[in-house]
Amino acid sequence: MKSVIRNGPVLKQLLDACKSSKFVTLDLENDTVKKFHLTPIGKMLKNNLREEFYRGESGTELYEGSSELSLMENLRFAQETFAVSLPFGMAVEDRFTGRNIQLSETHQMELERGSLLTCSYFINPATSKEFMYKAQRQRKIWWMRFACDPGRYFISDPRQDSARRIQSVNIRARFGDEELTLEQLELIPGDAMWEQMRGFQAKAGRSGKKITPDVVRISQCAEVATLGVILDAAQSSEENSVKIHRRLAPFKCGIVCMTEDPIQLEELRDLARHLTTVIRRVNLAVLDCSRQTTGTSNQRSLTKQLHHLDSIGVPYSLLLREQSLQNGLLQLRSRDTTISETIHISDLPHYLLKIITS
């Protein structure tokens, strides 16, 4: 993905740049994104984003609901199965087709298929405003934590639907003079949810008294959120290096063999397969590139493989040399610094897991 000039219609330039990325395909007609599709790498990025989104707000139990059930049916299941008490949350993924989404004041997206991720938190009305304020700050920090440019993210001015007394804010990202809406937070009074909750009540506090909760609902379109991460990386990354955060990166590590000896190459490939298995056992996605090494023109092959790993946002690369077979020492290269450190094979995968999840 080519770097983008930081003046003029930045969002349009970034969307144009995405056409050459490894994560999405799209057409841009005037100010409308059409034929938007995630590549297999892009789908892995979306899945990682979804997992992080569903980790929930700190200190609040979050249960997984079903989009095939009504809200009341999900609540009844949670109450009967887990004996829930306030506060608690319910996460649901709704799939949709044929929807137009407003990205910014000037740009929209036509989505053939998409997913709406929602976390609904059921809160004691006495503390719901405090929870809403805390949640919007946490959501802004969540986006900043995974960003190349944390300063682009902000909370919009609050709005209120006077008829139903629903308060809402958006988490947005600035790209030049335009603002991309990434997700929405709403504080909904319990009586405004009466029909959907059908009189649902839950225990609150130590008294065990049952009350009708308010709802703080956080929602994002998974495809728009994924596009937002890619746009942030496109504006901030250098050419041929997509600096997606290590926790979101589709692959956490790539393995590259470095030798011009065909016999040694086969032994290094065996080592690469072993390391791939070891790393996957701790649930880290790893890309074994050892079969792309030909045993000739080693430096050119290495450069090509590292460029490929950088272009799909892989944060770390393990470089296996002939000496690795004798002393067990490997080179761990960082995508962001291009600096390599020496580690021993016995330190994998725990060292890699530590730096990925930190």
pLDDT reading at 7 higher than 70: no
At 89, list the tokens.
Answer: 């949350």
Please work out, in degrees rounded to the nearest 5, the angle formed at the alpha carbon of residue 275 by the alpha carbons of 269 and 279. Answer: 145
pLDDT above 60 for 294: no
Provide the pLDDT confidence category of residue 5 given band limits of 50, 70 and 90. very low
In 10 A of CB 3, how many CB atoms?
14
Angstrom distance (rounded) from CA 317 to CA 14:
27
Name the token pair of 263.
Answer: 């016999």
Q: Is the pLDDT of residue 8 over 60?
A: no
- Contact at 8 Å (CB) between 175 and 81? no
Which amino acid, one-letter code, is at 75? L
| Alpha-carbon torsion, ordered 92, 97, 103, 105, to 10 deg | -120
Angle between helices 40-53 and 222-236 (to 10 degrees): 110
Residue 58: pLDDT band (50, 70, 90) is: low
Residue with tokens 């000896």: 261
- CA 307 to CA 290: how far, in whole Å? 15
Q: By mean pLDDT, which of 44-48, 62-66, 163-167 is the weakest?
A: 163-167
For the chain, give the percent of residues with pLDDT over 70: 94
Is the pTM higher than 0.75? Answer: yes
Beta bridge partners of 144: none
pLDDT in tens, 114-137: 999 999 999 999 999 999 999 999
Residue ranges in the chain assigned as alpha helix (H): 10-18, 40-53, 71-82, 128-145, 194-197, 222-236, 262-280, 298-311, 324-327, 350-357
Residue 25 confidence (pLDDT) above 50? yes
Q: Which domains does the chain have, with CATH numbers?
A: 10-236 (3.30.930.10), 253-357 (3.40.50.800)
Q: Cα(143)–Cα(51) distance, rounded to whole angstroms?
A: 14
User: For the chain, what is the total number of helices (H) and then of strands (E)?
Assistant: 10, 18
* β-sheet bridge partners, residue 321: 258
- CB-based burial label for 155 (10 Å; 0-12, 13-18, 19+): middle
Whole-number average pLDDT of the chain: 91
Q: How confident is the model at residue 195 (pLDDT cuts 50, 70, 90)?
A: confident
Amino acid identity, residue 201? Q
Q: What percent of the chain has pLDDT over 90?
A: 76
Q: What is the pLDDT of residue 237?
A: 72
Helix spans in 211-341 (H): 222-236, 262-280, 298-311, 324-327
The verdict on whether omega for the bond into residue 125 sits within 30 degrees of 0, i.e. cis, is no
